[in-house]
Structure 1
């Protein structure tokens, strides 16, 4: 078994705060990416397999989240204001699998394993139709000492990745799911994608 350490790099993946919450609470182990509007390559590239999760709040839309997760969405909105000056990093992720997907039927079959509506998933799949959707399997770890940092201009915009402008101090951490729980969910989802 691989030994996981806190990321040595300051690289972070931007994701809706409600999705970071779901990943951080073990409610889902996958996230889907196709690239931000301003990616240098115009498509998603997994830059590293271990990175911090940077929660974003601006573009979260209730209609893109299943109703049973609206309370989680409201909880993230309650901790945010438009003039917010800081953001807190609570988690990092280690990607165990990056599966490319163009099959709408398989995407539909993933519905029980994530917080998003079918409409959200469809929009992601059909944007840049010839490019595959990346299904990232994220083994997520909770920092015992969350790190709060100022929101820099460099963090804004529709990009998947950015480097934090400050080093995240060393912290103890623990997986949000046991090895057994993670591997069981991973196996179920990989079986759908084969």
Structure 2
């Protein structure tokens, strides 16, 4: 069993605020990636297995989130406006597994394990058809003192990764799910993926 430490690198993964909330509240342990529009390689690469979660608001589409999670989506939008100059970093994640997937049936079978609609998953799968989806299994930790940082110009645009320009102070944190809860969810998903 390795000891988890807070990321020393300022690397962060950009994700819809509703997905960050779902990961941060233990509703899901996976995120599905194929790459941002402006990735240097035009495809997703896991730059580090430990990173902060950076919530993004501007591209969230309610029709891409299952109706039972619309309340979660509304919670993320309370107090947010396009003029907002700061964003809150409350979580970091450690990727325990990165599984590539091209199989539509298996992707459909993952539906109970995430907040997105089938349509969202399909769009991700069919965009750049020859490239696999990455199913990232993220063990998420909540910082005791979330940090408000300025939204820099460098953070804008459709990139998956960026380096935070503000330091996140070292502090205590706690796993969102217990070891047992995480292991159970992970096992159920790996069975679907045939691993």
Q: TM class by shorter-chain length?
A: over 0.9
Which ranges of structure 1 fall in alignment gaps of 5 or more residues?
A: none
Shift of 1:79: 2.6
- Tell me the TM-score normalised to structure 2 length: 0.99
How far does the alpha carbon of each residue in 1:18-60 deviate from its partner, in whole angstroms, 9 at most, with x for none? Answer: 0000000000000000000000010000000000000000000
2:189 matched residue in structure 1: 189
Q: State the secondary structure of the residue aligned to 2:2.
A: coil
2:27 matched residue in structure 1: 27
Q: State the secondary structure of the residue aligned to 1:135.
A: strand
1:41 matched residue in structure 2: 41
Matches of 2:26 and 2:91 in 1, distance apart? Answer: 12
- Tell me the TM-score normalised to structure 1 length: 0.99
2:122 matched residue in structure 1: 122
Matches of 1:147 and 1:37 in 2, distance apart? Answer: 28
1:66 matched residue in structure 2: 66
How many pairs align?
194
Matches of 1:138 and 1:79 in 2, distance apart? Answer: 27
Matches of 2:160 and 2:2 in 1, distance apart? Answer: 26
Q: State the secondary structure of the residue aligned to 2:190.
A: helix
The two structures, once aligned, show a CA RMSD in angstroms of 0.4
Matches of 2:112 and 2:82 in 1, distance apart? Answer: 32
2:85 matched residue in structure 1: 85
How far does the alpha carbon of each residue in 1:46-84 deviate from its partner, in whole angstroms, 9 at most, with x for none? Answer: 000000000000000000000000000011111311100
Matches of 1:79 and 1:22 in 2, distance apart? Answer: 18
2:144 matched residue in structure 1: 144
Is residue 166 from structure 1 mapped to residue 166 from structure 2 by the alignment? yes
Following TM superposition, where does structure 1 have runs of at least 4 consecutive aligned residues deviating by more than 6 angstroms?
Answer: none
Which ranges of structure 2 fall in alignment gaps of 5 or more residues?
A: none
Is residue 97 from structure 1 mapped to residue 114 from structure 2 by the alignment? no
Matches of 2:57 and 2:81 in 1, distance apart? Answer: 9
Shift of 1:167: 1.1
Shift of 1:2: 1.3
